[in-house]
Amino acid sequence: MRPGRGADGTSWRIAIERPLADKTRVWEAAVPLVDAAMATAGGSRHFFEYKGKRYSHIIDPADGRPVEHTLHRSCGGG
């Protein structure tokens, strides 16, 4: 990501998708950023299926196994 502002002087706008089971892409929000960063993780796009069960790329630190929900989290700072 490029620091500062876009070429036209406006803030960068980062889209956050709503996690939908049918994989439809719908924006939940657009967040303006200037000299900041944002990270998002969730289980609805990055997973694999084995024997009919979905396994997330996010590991639960309490038991070391993939989480079984599709919640998403975004965090930012600058």
pLDDT value, residue 35: 86
What phi and psi, each to the nearest 5 degrees, are found at residue 37?
-135, 160
- What percent of the chain stands above pLDDT 70? 76
With 0.75 as the threshold, say if the pTM is over it.
Answer: no
- Positive or negative CA dihedral for 5, 10, 11, 17? negative
Give the pair of three-digit tokens for residue 59: 């590991």
Give residue-wise pLDDT tens across range 49-68: 889 887 877 788 899 988 77
Give the pair of three-digit tokens for residue 58: 């996010």
Cα–Cα dist 71/42, whole Å:
6
Report the SS3 class of residue 11: coil
Residue written as tokens 């990055």? 46
